[in-house]
Structure 1
Amino acid sequence: MTINRWTRRAALLLASLAALLSGCTTYVTTQVTAFSDWSGNDATRTYAFTRAADQQNNLELSTYERVVANELATHAFRQVDAAQARYLVGLSYGIRSDMVTVSQPVYYNPWPAPYWGRPFDPWGPWGPYGPFPNAYVNQSYPIFTHLLGVRITERATGKEVYNVTARNSGAESSLVRAMPYLARSALADFPLGNGIVHTVKIPLDKNGAASNEMAATGAAPAAMPAPSSAPKVVQ
């Protein structure tokens, strides 16, 4: 059956709406895995960031360190010069892109035209029993996986005392925008026990606030606004 003009418009509208809804969410959900031999207390939580030799002048890493420093401060960590620090904190991070394919219905109108609209046609363009699914089409969308690792070692001995990894996925193509959520999730409920795996859900900012001042506030551009409230941990 030939799809008429109204049906084509409706099909395009439905497809657009489905794509829009698939990208909307109330929470940023992050998977967190921690390995721990933590025995420190508040009085000894002094730290400095450590870097590999080829990262000394890395501006991207400096930006992420400031985001993580904001979260460490909420757990009584105090950043000092490396010579005075009890702990060294190292970061690892990355982003990977994949394609996901979703099957979506295409609808047809069993009562094509003319459509006069209400009050002349009380059932509308689909008739009293429509619309009817005619077929399914595959739509492909990009999905991005963001990763942050935080490793804490004792400066004096080199012993690893805490290693946590946070990972989330979604339509956000920027690691910069995802980083505040990764950092807050990674350090939620610090310190976690050894071998703990859990899910952290952080509400999106309902006001859609946007800011590039990540160093001061942990905020992010509008596509993924900064965390606006405490994370919810799902064991």
Structure 2
Amino acid sequence: MKLNRWTRRATLVLAALTALLSGCTTYVTTQVTAFSDWSGNDASRTYAFTRAADQQNNLELTTYERFVANELATHAFREVDKGQARYLVGLSYGIRSDMVTVAQPVYYNPWPAPYWGRPFDPWGPWGAFPATTYVNETYPIFTHLLGVRITERATGKEVYNVTARNSGAESSLVRAMPYLARSALADFPLGNGVVRTVQIPLDKNGGASNEMAATGGAPAAAPAPASGAKVVQ
């Protein structure tokens, strides 16, 4: 009967931990820097993508343009033929790999034989063993970059220039691009000289989650965030 009581208690604890962990969300964190001289209105938000001569048949760039086009559409931008567009949108992008070294703790167990203290207490009365030394482990880290530049087609004047950058273990730029595009154009248009951090929930399928982005930083003269977004100062 006593064992059954402890078993029941352990089951309840494990169930509570499972429920708690299932609610946890991992975020992709991106730093965004914007420079702006934007004065457009919804009626005039027609655009076309512009490319360098050697990028005309670039399938990778075409893929990234679709990500950006989807985000621009949420801000009343409409893609048209280049000759009819008020704005031209150009993209720059890249990925860089580096190695980082992290000191990891090594734990020493002074009790070679297994010890079981109170029921379901693997540490017994002594608690967890402290780290006795550290070893250096090296890991690859990848920095992903997306730049979006908007100019007036008639005058060539730059009216918006935003850069999004994030880093992590993801080695594929194409899998990082949905988060970069969404972060770069979140709450468009930002004020001139705004630098902030945008967090987007990680989608287990590799794309941006349908949850609203949480944005943060110290924006200078930035507009109010889109509905559902959270600005963390």
> What band does the TM-score fall into relative to the shorter chain?
0.7 to 0.9
Q: Residues 161 and 138 (structure 1 numbering): CA distance in 2 closer, same or farther, change over 3 Å?
A: same
CA distance in 2, matches of 1:119, 1:233: 47
Please say if residues 204 and 228 of structure 1, whose CA atoms lie closer than 8 Å, have aligned partners that are also in contact.
no
Name the residue aligned to 1:188: 186
Could you tell me which runs of 5 or more consecutive residues in structure 2 were left unpaired when the two chains were aligned.
Answer: 1-23, 218-233
- Aligned-pair Cα RMSD in Å: 2.2
TM-score computed with the length of structure 2 as normaliser = 0.77
Aligned partner letter, 1:153: T
1:18-62 residue CA offsets vs partner (Å, 9 max, x unmatched): xxxxxx972111111111111110001000000000000000000
Could you tell me which runs of 5 or more consecutive residues in structure 1 were left unpaired when the two chains were aligned.
Answer: 1-23, 211-220
Name the residue aligned to 2:216: 234
CA distance in 1, matches of 2:188, 2:174: 23
CA apart distance, 1:118: 4.3
CA distance in 1, matches of 2:214, 2:43: 27
CA distance in 1, matches of 2:201, 2:216: 13
CA distance in 1, matches of 2:52, 2:213: 31
CA distance in 2, matches of 1:98, 1:55: 27
Aligned partner letter, 1:154: E
TM-score computed with the length of structure 1 as normaliser = 0.76
Name the residue aligned to 2:70: 70
Aligned residues: 194
Q: Residues 128 and 90 (structure 1 numbering): CA distance in 2 closer, same or farther, change over 3 Å?
A: same
Please say if residues 111 and 125 of structure 1, whose CA atoms lie closer than 8 Å, have aligned partners that are also in contact.
no
Provide the secondary structure at the position in 1 that maps to 2:198. Answer: strand
1:122-178 residue CA offsets vs partner (Å, 9 max, x unmatched): 975788355242211011111111100000001111111100000011111111011
Q: Which runs of 4+ in 1 moved over 4 A?
A: 117-127
Please say if residues 32 and 166 of structure 1, whose CA atoms lie closer than 8 Å, have aligned partners that are also in contact.
yes
Name the residue aligned to 1:45: 45
Provide the secondary structure at the position in 1 that maps to 2:126. Answer: coil
